[in-house]
Amino acid sequence: MGSFPGGVHPRYEKDLTAGKATRTLDPPAEAVIPMSQHIGAPAKVCVEKGDEVRTGQVVGEAGGFVSSPVHATVSGKVKVIEDRPHPSGKDVLSVVIESDGEDAWVDLDPHEADLLEIPLNEVKERILEAGIVGLGGATFPSHVKLSPPADKTIDTVILNGAECEPYLTADHRLMLEQPRAVAQGLALIARVMGAARGIIAVEANKPDAIQALEAEVGKLSGSVDAKLEVKVLPVVYPQGAEKQLIYALLGREVPSGGLPMDVSALVHNVGTAASMVRAACEGRPLVERIVTVTGDAVKEPDNLSVRIGTPVRELIEACGGYVDDGPAKLIAGGPMMGFAQHTDEVPVIKGTSGILVLSKRLVRRVEPGPCIRCGECIRHCPMKLNPAELVLYAEHDLFADAERVGALDCIECGCCSWGCPASIPLVQHVRKVKVEIMAERAKDRKAS
């Protein structure tokens, strides 16, 4: 089993939900569909207040190449189009749909050909139209990843089922319950990219999922050109980070400032791959996803399959509500990279892999102390950076120096902050530096 330098071993707490089968939640009475559910330009609203929409109908068109359409996730009437709270913390333009309770779908357009016979351009088109983005949390539009520049070749496609983020089990359940869709997704992406090799990478703490996937991959291997396999990885955070995953599996290092395609690799999340299969075969848009609702401040942690746009409050109610002590912190995503929320009125969006509710017992406010030069952050950093040095530059606004020592290579995994005995929020400092460097660059571009 290969791995990467650095990384940490936080408490995983996956037992809370790993054994619970995914439960499908009824469509919400009111769905809030934000226009920004992906990286890139926000979608453009293409319905009006009062319009009748059906489930799966496009309500926002892609606002550019790096963008993605968004769809209605319930059928009913557009109640209002306004700024609503969003997991990013800001208010974002959203289409609010009042459900008629019918859940009447648009007419889907299943492809008559077999999955592996569908022409490649049609596959890409269907994936774009279905609004599929990276479901691991980064929400990068998938069709863009499937269309690399002509001078790049991809020899290996990797499906990321590592799910290294503590607490989350959404991908685990998906791999266990829909192994066929995941394996087909791998074959599909490998075919689109013309890759000779396809790997599903899973951390060793999900033996049941590994078994299920191996069986499905075995069934498929005869019928496709690419060599498909399931690889087991050691359990270490951030194993599921793109660059770390490629290094652990292939021994290739993505160059600084580069992308996986620079080392002929392509990584997609397992959930994304399964959605791609549904889009290509059935023409089914992305309207639902699996969300792990977990933490010690929710009564019955569970894995839920919910419509996008369902308010987080409803998910928590479906899991028995908050414990009597009340929640201290609500996080969209996992504890390492998730975003703390100030209200449970935010909707589930395409990138919401989990809702983590922590009690007072686990949430502390600590005043950061001075750096004691212990070097823990350097030891943990999977990108081989020197976070302590970056913080020094950040504190003194020395952005050019920070750039020189690789600030932009930081993947914001949080290992340095996790391990800091002085509780210094290192990642936040580096984030600040990254934003300032990018702003400076944008200014320079404008000037020249």
Contact indicator for 363, 196 with CB cutoff of 8 Å: no
Measured from the CB atom, the residue of 196 and 340 that comes closer to another protein is 340
Question: Closest approach of Cβ 48 to another protein, in Å?
Answer: 22
- Tell me the window of 151-159, 208-216, 225-233, 340-348 that interacts with another protein (CB under 8 A): 340-348
Measured from the CB atom, the residue of 189 and 330 that comes closer to another protein is 330
Question: Closest approach of Cβ 368 to another protein, in Å?
Answer: 8
CA 443 to CA 447: how far, in whole Å?
A: 6
442 touches another protein (CB under 8 A): no
Tokens of 253: 């290092």
CA 290 to CA 293: how far, in whole Å?
A: 10
Q: Which residues does 344 contact at the CB level (< 8 Å), separation at least 6?
A: 311, 312, 313, 316, 330
Question: Closest approach of Cβ 432 to another protein, in Å?
Answer: 5
- Tell me the window of 34-42, 118-126, 255-263, 337-345 that interacts with another protein (CB under 8 A): 337-345
373 touches another protein (CB under 8 A): no
Q: What is the DSSP string of 247-294?
A: HHHH---PPTT--GGGGTEEEEEHHHHHHHHHHHHH-----EEEEEEE
90 touches another protein (CB under 8 A): yes
Measured from the CB atom, the residue of 124 and 432 that comes closer to another protein is 432
Contact indicator for 300, 362 with CB cutoff of 8 Å: no
Measured from the CB atom, the residue of 195 and 430 that comes closer to another protein is 430
Question: Closest approach of Cβ 89 to another protein, in Å?
Answer: 2
438 touches another protein (CB under 8 A): no
Percent helix, percent strand, percent coil in the chain, to nearest 5: 30, 20, 45
Q: Nearest-CA neighbor of 39 among 138, 146, 135?
A: 138
Report the residue count for the chain. 448
339 touches another protein (CB under 8 A): yes
Measured from the CB atom, the residue of 79 and 432 that comes closer to another protein is 432
Measured from the CB atom, the residue of 34 and 76 that comes closer to another protein is 34
359 touches another protein (CB under 8 A): no
Tokens of 94: 């959203």
Q: Is 399 helix (H, G, I), strand (E, B) or coil?
A: helix
Provide the binding-site residues for another protein, judged by CB under 8 A: 88-91, 339-340, 342-343, 365, 368, 425, 428-429, 431-432, 435-436
